[in-house]
Structure 1
Amino acid sequence: MRRRTFLGMSSGLGIVATGLLPAPASAGWRRPDLVVAADGTGDHTAIQAAIDAAPAGATEPFVIGVRPGTYLGQVIVPSAKTLIELRGLGRRPEDVVIADDRANGTPKPGGGTWGTSGSASVTVDGAGFRASNLTFANLFDEAAHPEITGRQAVAMLTRADRLVFERVRFLANQDTLYVNSSAAGVIARVYLRDCYVEGDVDFIFGRATAVFDRCRIHSLNRGSTPNGYVTAPSTDIGNPHGLLFDHCRFTSDAPAGTVFLGRPWHPNNDPNAIGQTIIRRSWIGTHIPDLAWSAFGTWPWEEARFAEYRNHGPGALVSANRPQLTGEQAASSTIEAFLRGPDGWKPERC
């Protein structure tokens, strides 16, 4: 049986297990513009209400502080709500949990089902969004709903540019973190630092340019073979930068050699979705086999842009099944190269 995630329990999700640290004092810290508190002691009791109250078209950050508690219900940050920051006001990321519990196949009121994108607990379409020191989760219980076969259940869906997540946990099973863009061919950049992502099937996926800096990537044990796939990138062929993992830790409770690092996702069989996953200078556990990449249906992994560079740990093998970057390729596959863009964005220096 796969190990389920229970909020508040020490199943690899706490501050010690994830490597997440309390937020340090910062010279750039500013007082929240609004406070959300489940007990009614703030300006709002719901996350969506605070998002709705934020100004549209902001040109400077609008900070929403969230006091400890669990906040249930779908949250949407529309494209008009720019530069919103959600800041957990607890001591640890697990003190503030923002969650919903629908899946792809969950029936919608009025007919039909939610689909993968519609299942997202949180959807971010507003550029410049930032989140820190909190948890995003999808609590859909697969075991309790055997009648639902569409089990993709997204905790966070991003479709905007210049997004930052710091000391954030993302918890679900299948399709936990959907890093996407507003349309095919549109580049959207996401920077994640000191975060924790947990799931099983394709749990980090999409066409965005997403950089994972010193994050922990944890594969759940599904109790089957294969036990899952960490990434499923759908990077557009015109985008040289897809998913990058730098100085991360790939961990799991699954048996040795039962989890793939990724497989290439071609939405609607799009031939231009030539997915990219690069893992460099990271620790990889025994759950990853020598043949670390997998085909996705009829799409072979060899035609995708999968590569590693100077990884270590018992699952960091070097063989014909594990393409490695050359030194020259590695020099152009850095955090800076992925994020800069024409506007010179430098979130990793903040």
Structure 2
Amino acid sequence: MELFPRSMTFLLILFISYFFCLSKATDCGGKDVSNTITVGQDGKVTFRTIQAAIDSVKSNNDRWVKIHIKAGTYIEKVQIPIEKPCIILEGEGSQRTIISFSNDDKTKNSAIFISSPPNIVLSDITFKNSYNVDNISAQIFPAVAATIYGDKSFILRCSFLGYQDTLFDAYGRHYYKDCYIQGEVDFIFGGGQAYFENCLLNATGRNKDLPGFVTAQGRKFSNSSSGFVFEGGSLVGNGKVNLGRAWKAYSRVIFHKTNFSSVVSPEGWNSFGRTGQEISKITYAEVDCKGPGADTSKRVPWIKKLSPSQLEEFSLASFINKDSWLDNLPTIS
């Protein structure tokens, strides 16, 4: 496994600032869906490709538009541009509706799915970057399955398949529920403020002597709201994997009531070379976790112990839903 640098440009910072302003101005007109577009590979459908359906949505959209994607494997790269919020991408089950493409490049360019605007819902779809998944003999490079930039994104029953850098949770508040995420090297990473509820994490190690990393969380500042919280769910796999390493100085990851298989390494966490800064800056915690990998007796000595009040700060309501945006989403069956 090889490490690759990840740099953020000034243009990206401007881009992020813009969509945060956009997220404050857009409420999508309530819970009602104003229009439904159907995508499929045969039969009576509106479009044959997912990207064509997204392109048909008007710029500065301010009402929920559902794009229903019929079962099938769609070999395409898909992007929701920043000027098109209030979109629901709905599949027919993550085992049946699959977006797949093979692409290796720098992290920010390799994603086969990119969602940039606020107020996006994804449900029942698999996002697969097949580069490191199907080509197991090839050299490993970053190959992102999905990048989520936009604030107030809800992802339900989706699967993300990759090996290195599978899911780039970049910026904003994101809620992942009942999802499947597969990889080995930093396979959930970024500077987002994300809550993962009842998700299945599968560490697919190829080198049993070299543990991978589930997370590489990128919280940069002490006052940043960024962080990853895992509530319930399970971590399985083969070989060994660390729970996380500190991509940025104030990296923050909490596991609460998660079931850990024996795939978790005894030390559990890695400071990524930030020796001497672990206690003062990094927040890594495991609370009430279970399973053969939940033994913390040999963990790094600087993992945090959270009081009940501190743990409450990382609840769904407190961590990402203080303004009740999740309560204003359309009903997803």
Common fold: TM-score over 0.5: yes
Return structure 1 stretches of 4+ with deviation > 6 angstroms: none
Q: Which residue of 2 aligns with 1:190?
A: 174
Are residues 1:33 and 2:23 paired? no
Query: Match for 1:344 among 289, 307, 324?
Result: 324
Query: Match for 2:146 among 137, 141, 156?
Result: 156
Q: Which residue of 1 aligns with 2:21?
A: none
Structure-1 separation of matches of 2:34 and 2:70: 13
Report how far residue 62 of structure 1 moved.
0.5
Structure-2 separation of matches of 1:154 and 1:222: 18
Are residues 1:64 and 2:67 paired? yes
Structure-2 separation of matches of 1:29 and 1:132: 17
Are residues 1:310 and 2:291 paired? no
Q: Which residue of 1 aligns with 2:265?
A: 289
Are residues 1:199 and 2:175 paired? no
Q: Read off the aligned partner of 2:143 and give its amino acid letter.
A: A
% identity of equivalent residues: 28
Question: 1:348–1:173: structure 2 CA closer, same or farther, 3 Å change rule?
Answer: farther
Q: How many residues align?
A: 293
SS in 1 for 2:95: helix
Over residues 143-189 of structure 1, what are the superposed CA-to-partner deviations in whole Å (9 max), with x where a residue is unaligned?
Answer: 4544xx6x0000000111000110100111100000012xxxxxx10
CA RMSD of aligned residues (A): 2.3
Report how far residue 326 of structure 1 moved.
2.0
Q: Which residue of 2 aligns with 1:280?
A: 256
Q: Which residue of 2 aligns with 1:139?
A: 130
- Is contact 2:176–2:199 with CA below 8 Å preserved after alignment? yes
Question: 1:103–1:162: structure 2 CA closer, same or farther, 3 Å change rule?
Answer: same
- Is contact 1:170–1:177 with CA below 8 Å preserved after alignment? yes
Report how far residue 40 of structure 1 moved.
5.5
Q: Read off the aligned partner of 1:251 and give its amino acid letter.
A: V
Structure-1 separation of matches of 2:195 and 2:274: 28
Task: Report matched runs for 1:1-350 at 5 Å.
Answer: 33-39=36-42, 41-88=44-91, 90=92, 92-104=93-105, 115-141=106-132, 142-146=135-139, 151-181=141-171, 188-237=172-221, 238-254=223-239, 258-266=240-248, 273-298=249-274, 302=279, 303-319=281-297, 321=300, 322-341=303-322, 343-346=323-326
Q: Which residue of 2 aligns with 1:109?
A: none
Structure-1 separation of matches of 2:83 and 2:321: 24
- Is contact 2:34–2:64 with CA below 8 Å preserved after alignment? no
Report how far residue 290 of structure 1 moved.
2.5
Q: Which runs of 5+ in 2 are unaligned?
A: 2-30
Question: 1:157–1:217: structure 2 CA closer, same or farther, 3 Å change rule?
Answer: same
Q: Which runs of 5+ in 1 are unaligned?
A: 2-27, 105-114, 182-187, 267-272
TM-score, structure 2 normalization: 0.82
TM-score, structure 1 normalization: 0.78
Over residues 117-152 of structure 1, what are the superposed CA-to-partner deviations in whole Å (9 max), with x where a residue is unaligned?
Answer: 100000110111111111111010454544xx6x00
